[in-house]
């Protein structure tokens, strides 16, 4: 589904990714864990084409998107939930969702909107509330719902647990599991390594711009190095 | 109410003294070839002294005063009023607007020529402000060189009239489209910029256009400007005493009425009114279209908007282009109204005034912007009696306005909160 081959990414002269190869297969949940500054967000941004990879290639469903413009990548069946939620705080919940289905027909929007409300009944309750006035967990639900509005085949989540209460994180991860049931491929980037790895089919460990480890989620959880570095021993 | 307050009040008073004494108190007088400086007379000194004391006392008790004002029944009553139902409100609004437009159509026949002339100017500012509202209010791109597009529209008409004998109606779309093209061209280099940086580049652009017009003497006449810009015609009928254009007839002959200079003024007013209504309607339409939502999304959060597949380029360029289009529109009307234009009409102050209108009216709100355009254009005229102090009063009004209603006269209404009864 999504393949990164030996990707190098630069911010100006500084190289942030030193040849990263990652593969996400259809229907999987793949987690990418790593410390602050390891390059997790850079990797996601490279997939989205902002900044573009300076060498190596990115393939989405077999199509080379390494040098495609961001807007066209984001319209081709992939959706991203950006770090820190980034809902449109002045718009209502409903308007936020409609923005998510910007390029779809009205009928499609209505259908996906009902579906999102099914996944997150909480959003239905707050349909006409301004997004900025909601709690962090609700905003995260809205951000995920907004990403789902374009009916993506693959969804990328950047730190969905950031700054949320443990119980809310639990709910969010349940929903992510549910997305896999629906056949949506999930690429999850997390600092919350334990939860991310228990849910994932496979996982990658990113360290200072390089992939250090790559294994199934369960194996990584059991790996002593990973336990030491990311799970607190 | 600590020493802090006293110190603050003292400094405010000191600044008042420092600013007002040289401006009001000192006079330069020419005696022969030398210039002498004379001090203020007693009454001015007393007035300055009183002003300083007023500022001191006001600053000292400012917080208490503000609290008292907030508790005034008029203000607090409005704050607690429940909002009307959305559809009912929309219906009432549309009736009120229709009523105002109809009134505006007949109003010029009952008032003085000067008033109609001023109203035409108001309408031109309304068009300008509505256009800038798209760029600043909706798309959130701070544009300080908006007057450049206004100048492009005006000069397009003036030059086409001078060199190619274009009439107002032929030049109107050309001027607007050329301004839009300039908007597009300016849009490209500034796409990556945001906030302050964008403001500076647009400011520079505005100056470039003005200086170009000023110095390209062979084409634009430089500081001398261009005169003899034709008035608009009504289906080939001219409003002057004598017919100038070939094949045209004159308005007063056709209808067999006596010639009056007022006809032209009223006709210009009506054109401006129709175009202003047209501008408002087109932009309103845009706001409800996907592109309008895209502007707002980009203003709210650029990264989120891009993550949804919106192209930053397309959204920003469309805002710039549409804003510039309507500036060109009003520029053409302005050129026709004045009959003479020079680079002096397109200085930075014009950009600043239009921006002030948008901010005062409430960013993104059309009705607010229209009200603010009326207020900002008419207020200095009303304050004319105070002659040199009128800009002072104007400035004070703006400061007060921003202190009490920073969100503008009528902030954009996108709030439809429904109270949650569960929980």
Closest CA–CA distance from residue B286 to any residue of chain A (Å): 15
Cα A217 from chain centroid?
Answer: 17
Q: Is the pLDDT of residue B228 over 90?
A: no
Residue B380 lies in a domain: yes
Question: Phi and psi (nearest 5°) for B228?
Answer: 65, 30
Mean pLDDT throughout B62-67?
78
How far is it, in rounded angstroms, from Cα B195 to Cα B302?
Answer: 12
Same structural domain for residues B115 and B171?
A: yes
pLDDT of residue B422: 40
> What interface predicted TM-score (ipTM) does this complex get?
0.88
Residues 36-65 of A with CB under 8 A from B: 48, 50
pLDDT of residue B315: 92
Same structural domain for residues B294 and B389?
A: yes
Same structural domain for residues B59 and B192?
A: no
Residue B414 lies in a domain: no
Query: CA dist A64 to A17, A47, A49, A67, A112, Å?
Result: 19, 11, 11, 8, 28
Closest CA–CA distance from residue A91 to any residue of chain B (Å): 7
Q: Number of A:B CB contacts under 8 A?
A: 81
CA atoms within 13 A on the CB side of B395: 5
How far is it, in rounded angstroms, from Cα A201 to Cα B75?
Answer: 60
Same structural domain for residues B69 and B109?
A: no
pLDDT of residue B275: 94
Same structural domain for residues B188 and B280?
A: yes
Query: CA dist B95 to B89, B119, B281, B301, Å?
Result: 10, 22, 15, 35
pLDDT of residue B82: 55
How far is it, in rounded angstroms, from Cα B101 to Cα B107?
Answer: 10
Question: Phi and psi (nearest 5°) for B362?
Answer: 105, 110
Same structural domain for residues B107 and B47?
A: no
Q: Is the pLDDT of residue A70 over 50?
A: yes
Q: Is the pLDDT of residue B361 over 80?
A: yes
Q: Is the pLDDT of residue B414 over 80?
A: no
| Encoded tokens for A101 | 């289905």
Q: Is the pLDDT of residue B2 over 50?
A: yes
Are A146 and B418 in contact (CB < 8 Å)?
no
Bridge partners, B212 (sequence order): none
Confidence of residue B418 (pLDDT cuts 50, 70, 90): very low
Span B268-289, pLDDT tens digits: 999 999 999 999 999 999 988 8
How far is it, in rounded angstroms, from Cα A88 to Cα A140?
Answer: 12
pLDDT of residue B158: 94
| Encoded tokens for A177 | 């599991």
**A93 at interface of B, judged by CB pairs closer than 8 A:** no
Query: Is residue B271 a contact partner of residue B333, using CB atoms and an 8 Å limit?
Result: yes
Q: What is the pTM of this model?
A: 0.80
- Residue B249 burial (CB < 10 Å; 0-12/13-18/19+)? middle
Are A91 and B301 in contact (CB < 8 Å)?
no
Query: Is residue B131 a contact partner of residue B321, using CB atoms and an 8 Å limit?
Result: no
Same structural domain for residues B188 and B145?
A: yes
Domains identified in chain B, total number: 2
pLDDT of residue B84: 58
Which residues are CB-contacts of B295 (< 8 A; sequence separation ≥ 6)? B134, B138, B139, B140, B315, B318, B319
Residue B40 lies in a domain: yes
Collapsing DSSP to helix, strand or coil, A165 comes out as coil
pLDDT of residue A140: 93
Are B309 and A75 in contact (CB < 8 Å)?
yes
Q: Is the pLDDT of residue A83 over 80?
A: yes
How far is it, in rounded angstroms, from Cα B343 to Cα B151?
Answer: 8
Residue B178 lies in a domain: yes
Pick B43 or B267 by higher pLDDT: B267
Same structural domain for residues B191 and B249?
A: yes
How far is it, in rounded angstroms, from Cα B357 to Cα B128?
Answer: 10
Mean pLDDT throughout B284-297?
89
Closest CA–CA distance from residue B376 to any residue of chain A (Å): 28
Q: Which residue of B has its CA nearest to A76?
A: B309
DSSP state for residue A30 in the 8-state scheme = E
Q: Is the pLDDT of residue A167 over 70?
A: yes
Same structural domain for residues B109 and B62?
A: no
| Encoded tokens for A82 | 């950006």
Q: Which of A52, A86, A156, A158 to mutate to test the interface with B (most CBs of B within 10 A)?
A: A86
Collapsing DSSP to helix, strand or coil, B74 comes out as helix
Collapsing DSSP to helix, strand or coil, B56 comes out as helix
Closest CB to B308 among A91, A100, A129: A100
Residue B277 lies in a domain: yes
Domain range holding B62?
2-73
Pick B196 or B211 by higher pLDDT: B211
Same structural domain for residues B35 and B160?
A: no
Closest CA–CA distance from residue A96 to any residue of chain B (Å): 9
How far is it, in rounded angstroms, from Cα B336 to Cα B340?
Answer: 8
Residue B289 lies in a domain: yes
- Cβ contacts of A95 on chain B, cutoff 8 Å: 293, 414
Percentages (nearest 5) of helix, strand, coil residues in chain A:
40, 30, 30
Same structural domain for residues B117 and B50?
A: no
Residues of chain B whose C-beta is under 8 A from some C-beta in A?
290, 293-294, 296-297, 300-301, 303-314, 414-418, 420, 422
Residue B78 lies in a domain: no
Q: What angle do CA A62, A65, A70 make, to 5 degrees?
A: 140
Q: Is the pLDDT of residue A34 over 80?
A: yes
pLDDT of residue B410: 77
Mean pLDDT throughout A192-215?
91
Pick B146 or A90 by higher pLDDT: B146
Residue A28's closest CA among A221, A201, A188, A158?
A201
Residue whose tokens read 């334990």: A194
Query: Is residue A208 a contact partner of residue A38, using CB atoms and an 8 Å limit?
Result: yes
Question: Phi and psi (nearest 5°) for A34?
Answer: 170, 160
Residue B409 lies in a domain: no
Choice among A95-109, A116-130, B91-105, B173-187 with the minimum mean pLDDT? B91-105
Query: CA dist B227 to B68, B221, B242, B264, Å?
Result: 55, 10, 18, 17
Span A141-159, pLDDT tens digits: 999 999 999 999 999 999 9
Q: Compute the Cα dihedral for B65, B66, B72, B74 and give only its sign.
A: positive
Closest CA–CA distance from residue B86 to any residue of chain A (Å): 12
Are A99 and B416 in contact (CB < 8 Å)?
no
The full length of chain A comes to 233
Choice among A120-134, B102-116, B297-311 with the minimum mean pLDDT? B102-116
pLDDT of residue B105: 86
Query: Is residue A94 a contact partner of residue A127, using CB atoms and an 8 Å limit?
Result: yes
Which residues are CB-contacts of B270 (< 8 A; sequence separation ≥ 6)? B105, B108
Same structural domain for residues B165 and B226?
A: yes
What pairing do the DSSP bridges indicate for beta strands A185-190 and A29-34?
A: parallel
Closest CB to A89 among B300, B306, B313: B300
CATH of the domain at B318: 1.10.3470
């Amino acid at each position: 589904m999504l393949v990164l081959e030996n990707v190098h990414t630069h911010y100006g002269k500084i190289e942030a990714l030193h040849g990263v190869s990652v593969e996400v297969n259809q229907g999987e949940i793949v987690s990418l864990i790593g410390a602050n500054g390891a390059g997790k967000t850079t990797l996601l941004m490279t997939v989205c084409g902002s900044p573009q990879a300076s060498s190596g290639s990115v393939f989405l469903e077999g199509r080379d998107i390494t040098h495609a413009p961001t807007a066209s990548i984001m319209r081709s069946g992939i959706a991203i939930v950006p770090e820190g939620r980034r809902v449109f705080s002045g718009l209502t919940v409903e308007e936020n969702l409609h923005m998510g289905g910007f390029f779809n027909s009205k009928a499609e929007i209505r259908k996906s909107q009902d579906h999102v409300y099914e996944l997150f009944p909480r959003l239905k309750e707050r349909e006409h509330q301004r997004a900025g006035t909601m709690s962090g967990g609700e905003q995260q639900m809205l951000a995920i719902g907004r990403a789902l509005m374009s009916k993506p085949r693959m969804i990328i989540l950047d730190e969905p647990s950031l700054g949320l209460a443990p119980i809310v994180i639990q709910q969010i991860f349940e929903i992510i599991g549910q997305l896999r049931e629906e056949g949506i491929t999930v690429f999850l980037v997390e600092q919350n390594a334990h939860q991310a790895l228990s849910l994932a089919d496979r996982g990658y460990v990113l360290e200072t711009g390089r992939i250090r480890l790559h294994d199934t989620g369960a194996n990584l959880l059991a790996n002593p190095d990973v336990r030491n570095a990311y799970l607190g021993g | 109410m600590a020493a802090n307050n006293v110190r603050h009040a003292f400094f405010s008073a000191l600044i008042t003294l420092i600013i007002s004494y040289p401006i009001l108190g000192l006079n330069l007088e020419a005696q022969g070839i030398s210039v002498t400086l004379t001090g203020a007379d007693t009454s001015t000194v007393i007035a300055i002294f009183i002003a300083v004391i007023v500022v001191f006392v006001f600053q000292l008790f400012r917080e208490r005063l503000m609290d008292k004002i907030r508790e005034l029944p008029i203000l607090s009553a409005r704050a607690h009023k429940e909002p009307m139902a959305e559809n009912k409100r929309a219906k009432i609004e549309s009736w009120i607007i229709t009523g105002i437009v109809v009134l505006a159509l007949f109003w010029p026949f009952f008032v003085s020529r000067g008033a109609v002339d001023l109203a035409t100017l108001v309408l031109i500012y309304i068009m300008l402000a509505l256009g800038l509202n798209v760029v600043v209010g909706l798309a959130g791109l701070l544009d300080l060189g908006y007057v450049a597009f206004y100048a492009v529209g005006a000069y397009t008409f003036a030059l086409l009239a001078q060199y190619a004998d274009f009439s107002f109606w032929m030049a109107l779309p050309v001027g607007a489209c050329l301004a839009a093209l300039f908007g597009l061209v300016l849009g490209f280099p500034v796409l990556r910029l945001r906030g302050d940086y964008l403001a500076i580049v647009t400011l520079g652009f505005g100056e470039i256009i003005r200086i170009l017009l000023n110095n390209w003497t062979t084409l634009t006449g430089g500081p001398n400007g261009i005169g003899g810009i034709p008035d608009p015609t009504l289906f080939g009928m001219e409003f002057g005493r004598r017919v100038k254009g070939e094949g045209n007839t004159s308005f007063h002959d056709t209808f067999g009425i006596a010639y009056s200079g007022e006809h032209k003024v009223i006709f210009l007013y009506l054109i401006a009114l129709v175009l202003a209504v047209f501008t408002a309607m087109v932009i309103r339409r845009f706001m409800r279209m996907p592109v309008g939502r895209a502007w707002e999304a980009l203003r709210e959060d650029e990264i989120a908007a891009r993550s949804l597949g919106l192209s930053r380029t397309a959204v920003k360029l469309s805002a710039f282009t549409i804003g510039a289009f309507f500036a060109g529109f009003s520029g053409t009307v302005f050129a026709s109204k004045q009959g003479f234009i020079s680079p002096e009409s397109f200085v930075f102050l014009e950009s600043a005034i239009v921006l002030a209108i948008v901010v005062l009216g409430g960013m993104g709100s059309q009705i607010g912007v229209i009200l603010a355009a009326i207020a900002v254009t008419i207020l200095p005229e009303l304050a004319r009696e105070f002659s040199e102090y009128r800009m002072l009063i104007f400035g004070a009004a703006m400061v007060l306005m921003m202190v009490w209603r920073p969100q503008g006269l009528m902030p954009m209404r996108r709030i439809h909160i429904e109270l949650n009864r569960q929980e």
